[in-house]
Structure 1
Amino acid sequence: MPDAPWLTIVGLGEDGPDGLPAASRAALDAAEVVMAPTRHLSLIPETGAERIAWPVPFAEGLPLLKELTGRRTVVLASGDPFWFGAGSVIAREFAPHEWRALPGPSTFSLAAARLGWPLDRTTCLGLHAAPLSRLRPHLAPGQNMIVLLRDGAAVALLADYLSGLGFGASTLHVMEALGGPREHVNTCRADGPQGTHGAPVCVAIEPAGGPALPQASGLPDDTFETDGTMTKRPVRALTLSALAPRPGEHLWDVGGGSGSVAVEWLLSHPTTQATTVEPREDRRALIARNAASLGQDRLRIVEGSAPGALEGLAPPDAVFVGGGLSQALLDRLTALPKGTRLVANAVTLDSEALLVAAQARLGGTLLRLDLSEAAPLGPRKAWKAAYPVVQWSVTL
């Protein structure tokens, strides 16, 4: 049987080595070096191995770990290191033959077991190093979730966040040190007193009271903050349908405005990516606020005007042009690789002429959108027409 890799990632529970399976205990007993956060080191007895406390921030520990190459080393992590843990970060730094992982029960599994929740129907999120706004797309009455928090103080922040969104009636099961001798569970309402808590902590949430985000494309316009320049709901829904986001794909949103199209692209799937290009500083700030409020902190916002600002960006799978259309921009975009999807909306006659010419040259679909809304006209109501929008969509 071949020798074990020099690096072993061991999932440790709050009961320390007592709860470890035989393979994990053997790896720990044979280790020349044990590297872990201080809290994890405090859970294990002295074995004669060199101990190295993992520094903060986490990234600073990776060079230290690389210096240990060839020595029998154990890295301790919480529970399952590959479920919102350090495992994937460590694994991508080393060749597959250099490491192995021996996971333990995850915090999510322990929490679900305490509450009798079906884990396959429970949303699980790691928020120990992410903003609470990542909860927003998942919040809906009756849709339970379990979240990991960075420390006990974050429980009050979570409760305030939920209450501010109208979810104050939600039930919170605050769980400390699951699986260990300090295990404690406290149940309370988000809008009530939560008490004080210590790390490690997770919270199981039974959402109640607040409004869920619709799952269809075309969120209500008042979902977004705007200065008046945005792709309105009906046009946005048709635009996203034409863009057709798929898991893992990257969007260029050229002329971001309020960022509504890019944000909804990101909402379509947690693996999508988006980059928006916007020349105005005030609108870049607006886009950032809209992205943050809906939990899409992975939106990249680039200063500048296209086509110049597009140089050096990661290649897109789809492109939306909502403003700043020009022949130079079209020339740049139509030179993108085969298979790239391009959707451009035009309101002015000048921009419309560019799209008509592009469609004649490259094909695709031209769609004219004439929308009217009922509006007061004296004591009665009449149809008030918006400017017509011409949309060109093509797969290069």
Structure 2
Amino acid sequence: MVNNNFSPKWLSIVGIGEEGLDGLGMRARSLINHSELLVGGERHLAMLAEGDLREKLVWASPIEASIQEIVQRRGHSVCVLASGDPMCYGIGVTLTRHIPITEITIVPSPSAFSLACARLGWSLTDVKTLSLCGRDPALLNAVLHPGGRLLVLSADQKTPAIAAHLLTQAGFGNSQMTVLEHMGSPHERIIETVASGWSATDIAPLNTIAITCIPSTPRSHHPASRLPGLPDIAYHHDGQLTKQEIRAITVTALAPSPGHLLWDVGAGCGSIGIEWMRSDATCRAIAIESHPARLQYIADNATALGTPNLEIVAGAAPAALKNLPQPNAIFIGGGLTTPDLLETCWQALLPGGRLVANVVTVEGEEQVFRWQRELGGDLTRIAIQRAAPVGKFLGWKAIAPVTQWRVMKT
């Protein structure tokens, strides 16, 4: 039963820096002192006075159980102790998904990113920030580009070595790495090195990594662009690859938008879903593929190109599409003549969503023409020719023409 007789601001979230409770202002101290329940990690709760007998809650794993326990205390004074800025990849972001901000008071300390910029003289607005706390380090691959500046929240003391190895493998071994530990405390330390020469082992668990991206291989080898149409050589594949020019047209037709979900049906090596996700960090995609070797290609390509969160579903459509979350866009790159495939996709597509289908066979075109007459949309014939050697000269070599159907569900 929910108690409706409570002060609107019953939950407080206080960010704590390396100085501990001594570094907090009067408002933060007051919120902590007047709380009935104190929530945090063991490190945070250990900062409280030894004789503090108030109820305390240590974060559980998974954290959802603790979130629910906090929600159930609605109407009582609860204070969550956090690190730095709770709204910068912190617990505040999670809690505001469950509790209205009108019921929460948030008092942040400077974030690790702000402190790092102050140490390095960097402009935070010109830096790409990301967190590897509980996240796949391969996310770094999506943001590497010559001259780029990155600030990375480490998961633990092993993260800098993992990042250095990843940078070196990606051809950015010359990148300057700066590891900043315990910023704002008497134990603050800064370690500077080149990624390929990383050798430090005595790293503090709480650290932030600053990276200036410097390539160690030719620039053309780095798929830095976030726009669709990466070079074909960026992908491992067995020939089932939507070619660069057609891929650019296709992803543009799908019109990725932040937070939207794509189904890539008959994903091949995963290129469409990967480039959809590279367009924005919040874009999501599901790659559906039945061929075992191609499933591995998809996983490898997703990791190498910085989209390790691409969801991969092993199986043949339409059966494999059951129980998947409804998409905002669907791409069908193969198997269009499979019975019930188009019907299933069209039914699953959210209103306002886009369906794009590419076909190269006469039988596939027959299906597309029939559906276009029924549902409308646009038909486009894409014919690409590339220059290739013909003896001592150059001639035009045609890529198989593609018929593309684009339609929006109203």
TM class by shorter-chain length?
Answer: over 0.9
Q: Which amino acid aligns with 2:214?
A: A
Q: How does 1:50-65 map to 2 (within 5 A)?
A: 50-65=55-70
For residues 248 and 56 of structure 1, what CA distance do their matches in structure 2 show?
Answer: 26
Q: SS state of the match for residue 179, structure 2?
A: strand
Give TM-score, length-normalised by structure 1.
0.92
Q: Structure 2 matches for 1:311-322, cutoff 5 A?
A: 311-322=322-333
Deviations 1:192-213 (A, max 9, x none): 2442211210011111125351
Corresponding residue for residue 388 of structure 1: 401
Deviations 1:234-286 (A, max 9, x none): 11111112112122222111111111001000111112111222122332232
Q: Which runs of 5+ in 1 are unaligned?
A: none
The TM-score, its normalising length taken from structure 2, stands at 0.89
Pairs within 5 Å for 1:360-375:
360-375=373-388
1:25 equivalenced with 2:29 (yes/no): yes
Q: Which residue of 2 aligns with 1:298?
A: 309
Distance 1:74 1:339 in 2: 42
- Letter paired with 2:328: D
* 1:35 lines up with 2:48 in the alignment: no
User: For residues 89-108 of structure 1, what are the structure 2 equivalents within 5 Å?
Assistant: 89-96=94-101, 98-108=103-113
Distance across 1 between alignment mates of 2:312 and 2:18: 41
Instruction: Find the residue that maps to 2:177 and give its secondary structure.
Output: strand
2:354 to 323, 334, 341: 341
Matches of 1:185 and 1:242, distance apart in 2: 47
1:249 correspondence with 2:260? yes
Aligned-partner Cα distance in 1 for 2:250–2:327:
16
In 1, Cα distance between equivalents of 2:71 and 2:367: 55
CA 1:4–1:182: 2 relative to 1, 3 Å: farther
> Paired residue for 1:14?
18
Change (3 A) 1:329 1:165: same
1:24-81 Cα distance to aligned partner (Å, 9 max, x none): 1011122233221122223343344334332444445335545655543321111111
Counterparts in 2 of 1:75 and 1:316: CA distance versus 1, 3 Å: same
- Spell out the pairing of 1:264-283 with structure 2 (5 A cutoff): 264-283=275-294
C-alpha contact 1:122 1:145 (8 A) present in aligned 2: yes
Q: Matched residues in 1 for 2:393 and 2:192: separation?
A: 54
SS in 2 for 1:108: helix
Q: Matched residue of 1:191: which SS? A: helix
Structure 1: distance between partners of 2:198 and 2:166 = 14
| CA-CA distance at 1:374 after TM superposition | 3.1
Post-superposition Cα deviations, 1:339-393, rounded to whole Å, max 9, x if no partner, equal 2211111111100111122223333222222223333444544333232211111
- When residues 235 and 23 of structure 1 are mapped into structure 2, their CA distance, relative to the original with a 3 A threshold, is same
Q: 1:38 to 1:338 in 2, by over 3 A?
A: closer
Conserved? CA contact 2:143–2:306, under 8 Å: no
Q: Distance in 2 between matches of 1:155 and 1:57?
A: 25
SS at match of 2:90: coil
SS in 1 for 2:340: helix
SS in 1 for 2:386: strand
Q: Over residues 87-136 of structure 1, what are the superposed CA-to-partner deviations in whole Å (9 max), with x where a residue is unaligned?
A: 12233333555533222211111111111111111111111211111111
Q: 2-side partners of 1:93 and 1:362: how far apart?
A: 40
In structure 2, the residue matched to 1:170 is 175
- Give the aligned CA root-mean-square deviation in angstroms: 2.2
Helix, strand or coil at the partner of 1:359: helix
Describe the superposition over 1:153-199 as per-residue Cα deviations: whole angstroms up to 9, x where unpaired: 22111111111112111111111111122211122211224422112
Residue 197 of structure 2 aligns to a residue whose secondary structure is coil
Amino acid across the alignment from 1:241: T
Partner of 1:134: helix, strand, or coil?
helix
Q: Aligned AA for 1:270? A: A
Change (3 A) 1:66 1:154: same
Q: Does 1:328 align with 2:340?
A: yes
1:156 alignment partner in structure 2: 161
Query: Structure 2 regions of 5+ residues with no counterpart?
Result: 1-5, 217-221
Identity %: 39
CA distance in 2, matches of 1:6, 1:395: 45
CA displacement at 1:151 relative to structure 2: 1.3
Structure 2 Cα separation of the partners of residues 189 and 341 of structure 1: 45
Distance 2:295 2:289 in 1: 6
Write the deviation string for residues 202-227 of structure 1: whole angstroms up to 9, x where unpaired.
Answer: 01111112535123311011111112
Deviation string, structure 1 residues 286-319 (Cα, Å, up to 9, x no partner): 2122112222123222232222332322222221
Q: Distance in 1 between matches of 2:346 and 2:78?
A: 52
